[in-house]
Chain A
């Protein structure tokens, strides 16, 4: 069992078969997290470097736990800003890391395409843990995993992603991932937060949450960056919460059994009301749990697969 890709840079170029392999592998690895001794020797002797150029607590922790449960030696390399502030280029940083012979790199960067530059410069498999507004493939994979667990399928479902689509890597990866797996994806938000040409990525657009909710099997709310409430893209967080937030009144429009998801961290009372976030439809914590399993699966498939050992 191996993937047809060497890196996991994004879901745009990943085949459905690979996504299924990852989800199946994640399902088989999930029980490790319930053992009294949460560790298997699969990646013993492998070095996993988490290269985080952008602040992240949850994603980094999730990758760290995933690596450790597989017995990888996990090293965190945190750079607060671009390498340029130190006078070296990203290419220099990449060559330095590579010279230390890691077996797999997990990269988070505020600049779209940064993991792609690294992938061109080194031989090591790279997992994109989020690059700017481009992709966040492991988030989409854990979302797919969660939906598949809860709904038993993805094919034929309707996913609504609501919020700041323009600046969201989660939205892009989920559009690719869910449409490849046979779901229909709608993006919803004020026109200022819907980027041009999003339809060509496979999504349909609506400007009204009320119109999208009744048909939805899954409602995914995106975090609004609080600093965007300053008035240039929408008037205020107050108006946003009223017009585009998911609250109990809007949830009454939803189908029974619809799932409410959020990649976190949530802004309670902005894009999602506390009653909904903590309510019966919410699978937000299941997503977090799935994150560890999905990341274990990817680490295993990209650097621990038996074919790699024979090579």
Chain B
């Protein structure tokens, strides 16, 4: 018979219950059995796991990753991506549809779920394509995708240019209670751009992408969400203007949520120069200004931004050891996301409850998936974090198959020491 497990001696941070106290956590049969006062006697038949000096939190969820399988297995596989997620402290990830073939039909969804089950690590929730072939024209078979396990739809990597298509998509998804994840980018305004448009792009002679390329589309999608009453989630917001638009929309009661990625609150466009055109500073949306970075931090504080998601985008040397303007966009993030986010706590911008809200409760709520809570009876998805453990980022040691990180060599404080998925320890 499987023993019950007691995670003992930790500081339990669970915003879903308003908890931030020293508590022990008892798990049984894959579920949270009870939250115990530290003074309570350990019952017999319990395996005790120490969490002294650690945070015990609802398992972290990364709601925006690219696992590259099927089609680009040389960059990442579902198994290697799941291993990277576990190493980074996550119990679940949601993977974007821009694989090859893309996830615009149930067969691909089934394939992803099957591969994820075989990996026996984190939960992998597929996000289906919003439009067939990610072409931005006709809708994908969305109800079918949902029935097979997709938790949202998105053409991430590409915006849906045609406003009528976007409008009908939002409307249709409303009937199936599926969030639509928008990649907000006006392709005409961003065309040819390699980095944020500003004095650094001028200095480096790289074509710029103005902040307005993102904000124009954020504004449009908010208006369409308002028109349709559908659930809109904005991926990787990176500018002060986008956050202001979301904050205003939320105040009006629009059903909009948004996420940002750790690089947008950690780096600015200056990194492209400081890293001397290193392509690990190239992503879409691009790294923005210091004012934008500060606005992202503020948005995470006040709740304008609901989630931190890594936008984990593995690429090999074929895509990255090339001229900056020719390199593909994106960086890996699963194994640095928590460490970078904890910097916001160490620097006093967020408290632990806010961090857990943005990295667990928020994503679970947006996607409507289990987790994001340690309430008794819920699945035992738990992350244990040593917030003070110092470590140095070395991408060569990562579980991910790719190495494209601008944080190579960074000294970070805090990392996951245990990850439990349905009461089973995977880290």
**Segment with Cβ contacts to B, from A62-70, A84-92, A301-309:** A84-92
Known: A120-B276, A196-B198, A197-B199. A90 touches B322 (CB 8 A): yes
**Which residue in chain B gives the minimum CB-CB distance to A197?**
B199
Among B200, B201, B208, B324, the most chain A Cβ lie within 10 Å of the Cβ of B324
**Which residue in chain A gives the minimum CB-CB distance to B323?**
A111
Contact A196 B322 (CB under 8 A): no
Is B202's beta carbon under 8 Å from chain A? yes
Is A214's beta carbon under 8 Å from chain B? no
- A198 contact set on B, CB distance < 8 A: 199, 202
Is A164's beta carbon under 8 Å from chain B? no
For the complex, what is the distance from the CA of A135 to the CA of B273, rounded to whole Å? 14
Known: A89-B317, A196-B198, A200-B199. A113 touches B204 (CB 8 A): yes
Contact B322 A89 (CB under 8 A): yes
Is B206's beta carbon under 8 Å from chain A? yes
Report the minimum CB–CB distance from B321 to chain A (whole Å): 4
Count the A-B residue pairs with Cβ separation under 8 angstroms: how many?
83
For the complex, what is the distance from the CA of A195 to the CA of B201, rounded to whole Å? 9
**Which residue in chain A gives the minimum CB-CB distance to B202?**
A195
Partner of A111, one of B201, B317, B325: B325
Report the minimum CB–CB distance from A70 to chain B (whole Å): 30
Known: A84-B326, A113-B204, A113-B206. A197 touches B276 (CB 8 A): no
Report the minimum CB–CB distance from A82 to chain B (whole Å): 6
Report the minimum CB–CB distance from A281 to chain B (whole Å): 29
Is A5's beta carbon under 8 Å from chain B? no
Q: What string of 1s and 0s marks CB contacts (under 8 Å) between B199-220 and chain A?
A: 1111111111000000000000
Contact A134 B205 (CB under 8 A): yes
Known: A89-B317, A196-B197, A196-B208. A12 touches B203 (CB 8 A): yes
Q: What string of 1s and 0s marks CB contacts (under 8 Å) between B313-354 and chain A?
A: 000011001111110000000000000000000000000000
Contact B323 A82 (CB under 8 A): yes
Is B277's beta carbon under 8 Å from chain A? yes
Known: A12-B203, A131-B205. A84 touches B277 (CB 8 A): no
Report the minimum CB–CB distance from B303 to chain A (whole Å): 32
**Which residue in chain B gives the minimum CB-CB distance to A194?**
B202
Contact B318 A89 (CB under 8 A): yes
- B208 contact set on A, CB distance < 8 A: 195-196
- Give residues of chain A (193-217) contacting chain B, Cβ–Cβ below 8 Å: 195-198, 200-201
Is A169's beta carbon under 8 Å from chain B? yes
Report the minimum CB–CB distance from A129 to chain B (whole Å): 14
A residues contacting B by CB (< 8 A) are 12, 82-84, 89-92, 109, 111-114, 116-117, 120, 131-135, 166, 169, 172, 195-198, 200-201
- B321 contact set on A, CB distance < 8 A: 89-92, 117
- B204 contact set on A, CB distance < 8 A: 112-113, 134
For the complex, what is the distance from the CA of A217 to the CA of B208, rounded to whole Å? 32
**Which residue in chain B gives the minimum CB-CB distance to A89?**
B321
Contact A112 B199 (CB under 8 A): no
For the complex, what is the distance from the CA of A182 to the CA of B234, rounded to whole Å? 49
Report the minimum CB–CB distance from B153 to chain A (whole Å): 32
Contact A82 B326 (CB under 8 A): yes
Report the minimum CB–CB distance from B74 to chain A (whole Å): 14
Contact A117 B202 (CB under 8 A): no
- Contacts A112-B205, A195-B208 supplied; 20 other A-B pairs, CB < 8 Å: A82-B322, A89-B318, A89-B321, A111-B325, A113-B276, A114-B324, A117-B323, A132-B205, A132-B325, A169-B205, A196-B198, A196-B199, A196-B202, A196-B208, A197-B199, A198-B202, A200-B202, A200-B203, A201-B199, A201-B202
B residues contacting A by CB (< 8 A) are 197-208, 276-277, 317-318, 321-326
**Which residue in chain A gives the minimum CB-CB distance to B324?**
A113
Contact A197 B198 (CB under 8 A): yes
For the complex, what is the distance from the CA of A135 to the CA of B200, rounded to whole Å? 14
Known: A89-B317, A120-B276, A196-B208. A112 touches B202 (CB 8 A): no
Contact A197 B202 (CB under 8 A): yes
For the complex, what is the distance from the CA of A196 to the CA of B201, rounded to whole Å? 8
- A132 contact set on B, CB distance < 8 A: 205-206, 325
- B324 contact set on A, CB distance < 8 A: 111-114, 117
For the complex, what is the distance from the CA of A256 to the CA of B199, rounded to whole Å? 35
Q: List 8 A-B contacts (CB under 8 A).
A: A111-B325, A112-B206, A113-B323, A113-B325, A117-B324, A197-B202, A198-B202, A201-B203
Contact A114 B323 (CB under 8 A): yes
Report the minimum CB–CB distance from B355 to chain A (whole Å): 34
Report the minimum CB–CB distance from A199 to chain B (whole Å): 8
Contact B205 A197 (CB under 8 A): no
For the complex, what is the distance from the CA of A109 to the CA of B322, rounded to whole Å? 12
Report the minimum CB–CB distance from B250 to chain A (whole Å): 30
Known: A89-B321, A90-B321, A196-B197. A111 touches B202 (CB 8 A): no
Contact A112 B322 (CB under 8 A): no
Contact B322 A133 (CB under 8 A): no
- A135 contact set on B, CB distance < 8 A: 205
Among B198, B200, B201, B203, the most chain A Cβ lie within 10 Å of the Cβ of B203
For the complex, what is the distance from the CA of A172 to the CA of B199, rounded to whole Å? 12
- A113 contact set on B, CB distance < 8 A: 204-206, 276-277, 323-325
**Which residue in chain A gives the minimum CB-CB distance to B208?**
A196
**Which residue in chain A gives the minimum CB-CB distance to B325?**
A111
- B207 contact set on A, CB distance < 8 A: 133
Known: A112-B277, A113-B277, A116-B276. A197 touches B323 (CB 8 A): no
- A169 contact set on B, CB distance < 8 A: 205
For the complex, what is the distance from the CA of A120 to the CA of B326, rounded to whole Å? 18
- A112 contact set on B, CB distance < 8 A: 204-206, 277, 324-325
For the complex, what is the distance from the CA of A198 to the CA of B208, rounded to whole Å? 13
Report the minimum CB–CB distance from A96 to chain B (whole Å): 13
Report the minimum CB–CB distance from A301 to chain B (whole Å): 23
For the complex, what is the distance from the CA of A198 to the CA of B199, rounded to whole Å? 6
For the complex, what is the distance from the CA of A114 to the CA of B205, rounded to whole Å? 11
For the complex, what is the distance from the CA of A248 to the CA of B372, rounded to whole Å? 74
**Which residue in chain A gives the minimum CB-CB distance to B319?**
A89
Report the minimum CB–CB distance from B322 to chain A (whole Å): 5
**Which residue in chain A gives the minimum CB-CB distance to B317?**
A89
For the complex, what is the distance from the CA of A239 to the CA of B288, rounded to whole Å? 35
Report the minimum CB–CB distance from A230 to chain B (whole Å): 14
